[in-house]
Each structure stands twice: as C-alpha cells, then as structure tokens.
Structure 1
C-alpha cells in the first residue's frame, strides 16, 4: 500500500508506443478486479491499467489521500480524481482514455472537470451525471455510519445481488458469490469514505457538455441502479458520444457482458488514436 497519496496501480499490460493508454476506474464497493474479464478480451497492443480508488483494494485510505493532497474537509470524489491524475502523472501518463463504471464514472467526470488535459477519451459505464436525491444521500450516510459502527461490510453485502441484472441473478448465480468475495475484501473505512464522497457529488452534466473528445456511454439493459434514461441523459450531454446497451446485463456490465464492453472500449480507444 502506498503512503505518498498515490493510488495502487494494476498494470494489465504495456502496449506499444503511439497508442493512447486505457485507464479503468472501478465501481463501489469493489476494486480493480471487476475489470479482469474485460481486459482479457481487449487487443494486446495497448497499455491497459486499472487503479484502486481511495480506501479500496490496495490503495491508501481516503483521508490519508486527502491529507497528502492538501484537501481538508469531508470525503469528496474530487480527492479521488486528483489522486488519479497524480498517480497517472507519476508513471509518465499525461493523456489517456479514461473509463469508469458507476462510482468510477463519477470519478472520471470529476477528472474531466479538474484535469481535462488528461482525458483524451471518456467512457461512462452504468453511471449518471446527476447528484443524488435527498433520500439516496441520506441512505449513503446511514450505510457509512453502520459499517463503521459494526466494524465490517455486512451492510453492503446485499449489493452482490443488486448490482446484477435479473438474467444474471437467475442464470449466473456464480457472479453473486464472486461479487460477495470482492465486497468482503474491502475495509469498512474505505466503504464509508466512498459512500460519503458519492453523497457529496454535484451534478456534472454541464461538465460533460464541455467535453469535446470521443466518448462512450454504456449501460446494461437490466441496470436497476443507473437506468437507460440516465445513459440517454449522458449521451445527450456529450457532444461526441456513442451509446451502447448491453442486453441481459445489469449494473455490472464488466462481468455480465464483458464481450460487448471490451468491444466498445476498444472502439473508443481507436477513435482517440485516429484523433
């Protein structure tokens, strides 16, 4: 685990020079492993890496990252975005295709706002640009309080089912166990920090309207957490976005439909290369 405010880097492969790297940001309450199936299907000539967001996976705690970044106050996705930028620059990446799923999408949008020069192409998967309604925000704080009080992540284990679409829940029960394993690997402090950071996020629809680079919006047809309507809202905001709908998949398209996700990310990266 790093102690310099940088995030844990998981370099899947180093590609050839001249191709823009692909950077993957995971969802909540998971880590970089949710991208493994997708990366296995990507062409092998491009650098592909994933980062663990603050407090999750092998990355340092959110408050530790914030302290190093000189960010005081409550948990914030802006801290995560600044840490992503600093981590990429620490390994010489100044321009990348950045793709995030769910919470990773929130961080990617904050990165566009705060470090636009880094984002050559933007992939937003199963996410939304709007802020949380009051009831959702209150529930995030309730969950944060609960996991810290109980000292475990039992409060979010039910997400192993909620993250999946109905087809996967019925036909691919193995995915439930896989998600539960990943969720159990996270610490209560990281789960709480992430929930509070997501609760505090603003509406970033206008940020997307100012992004002129190639973009991808992707959503699972059965996603109950970020709907097709949310995806259409994103596409309408982005000047140069393609919309991909993954059939028989819910919120976790990266494991429910890795083939169309990999194809869509590869197409996005090729658009950036052609630039």
Structure 2
C-alpha cells in the first residue's frame, strides 16, 4: 500500500482535470480525486475530505479545490504531510467578484449548463488551447455533466469563503504553488504572495497554460508534483 495523495477539484470540475497526474503518479502514490457536487460551504467540503482520508496524507487542490485544501490545513495541519496549490488564491471576495459570478449564475439558469460552458471556459484557458477542440471539448462535457444546483452551491461556498491568507504563515509542510502563465482569473502575483507567506514553498509557473494548469500543462504539472512528492524542500 502506497502513501495517499488526494486531489481536490475546482468549480464545476472533476477527475477530468487531474487525469494526467493520476496516470503519471499512480506508481508512487495511491491517488483519490474528489469533487464537490452537492456542497455549498468550504468548511463542509473540508470536513468531507477529512472524513475519508488516512491519518496522514499528501494534498493537492486546483482552484476552488485549493481553497478547500487550505481549509483542511487550517482544521488539521498535523494530517497534511505536503500541500500543493494550483491556480488559486487565499484572499477573500474581491470587489466586483459577486457581480461577475452572479452573471454566470444567471446565464446558467436562463440558458443551461451548455451555454455556461461555452462562455465560461474559453477565457479560463490559454488562447492556443481554446482553439484546440481535443482539449476544450472534454472540459465542456465535464461542465455539462454538472447540475445547476451544484453550480449554485459551489458559488455560494466561494462567495462566503474566509480570508485564508491569514493562515498561510503557519503552514509548515513542503508546499508546491503552481499557476499557468496565462491564468487571468488567478494571476501570478497572488501566487507569488502565497509563496512569500509559506516558508517551505516552491513556486512554479507553467507555460502555455491558463487557469486549468493540471489539464492544460499535464507533463509540466506532473513533473513538478513528482518532485514535490519525492523530495523535501
């Protein structure tokens, strides 16, 4: 039995985003990819993860999933042996964010999840990846598989999130922080701030990638994660 690695998915995301890392790292870890359908609170998401993990485990989160990971570290720091945060932030709700998310909710309510996927996903990805149907189409299928109720709940969770930046300095485990070079939703600067606050952290920027770095830059992300899992920084 290998040590455990838990992969936490982001808003309207599932194992699709992590599949390359599951395939690349299954030889060194027992891997579990979790998503958060049916939840509307980050703390409840974190408690759900903790209820099924072993006493000590490695933890990686993408986007909203990384915010859940930070909540897990706050609740049970002794159980997380190493942490990876991708395309995310630790700040509370920003000015204008509630309105932007409400527009997406209105779109989904009025026109359905397919319309949401077509409008929401392209700006999240790097321009060259948006033009690649073999990359974009599986993400559209993923989003369309989610219910409106799941979207509404996850948006509530994000809009009621705590300011996780206050706890960054207390994180003691080896931490990988990664972001796509062309991530316009969660920019490089906020990842640099997190890296400065977490003492044992390493920041990696993934080229030709937007907000979906584990999916858009699968080899680079898997390589960074392998190093993070095998070496202590």
**TM-score (norm: length of structure 1):** 0.79
Aligned with 1:153 (options 68, 91, 113)? 113
Aligned to 1:136: 97
- The residue matched to 1:134 in structure 2 has which SS? coil
Aligned to 1:105: 66
Aligned to 1:21: 4
Runs of 4 or more, structure 1, over 3 Å off, are 141-147, 149-152
CA contact (8 A) 1:100 1:106 kept: yes
Confirm or deny that 1:95 pairs with 2:64. Answer: no
Task: Write out per-residue CA displacement over residues 224-260 of structure 1, whole angstroms, 9 at most, x where no aligned residue.
Answer: 1111101101101111001111111111111111111
CA distance in 2, matches of 1:134, 1:156: 22
Confirm or deny that 1:228 pairs with 2:193. Answer: no
CA contact (8 A) 1:246 1:260 kept: yes
- Unaligned stretches of 5+ residues in structure 2: none
Give the superposition deviation at 1:43: 5.3
Aligned to 1:174: 134
CA contact (8 A) 1:143 1:195 kept: no
CA distance in 1, matches of 2:47, 2:105: 23
Aligned with 1:51 (options 20, 34, 44)? 34
Report the number of matched residues: 232
CA contact (8 A) 1:112 1:119 kept: yes
Equivalent residues in 2 for 1:252-267, closer than 5 Å? 252-267=212-227
- Unaligned stretches of 5+ residues in structure 1: 1-14, 56-60, 63-74
- What is the CA RMSD across the aligned residues, in angstroms? 1.9
Give the superposition deviation at 1:140: 2.3
Which deviates more from structure 2 when the two are superposed, residues 99-108 or residues 156-165?
156-165
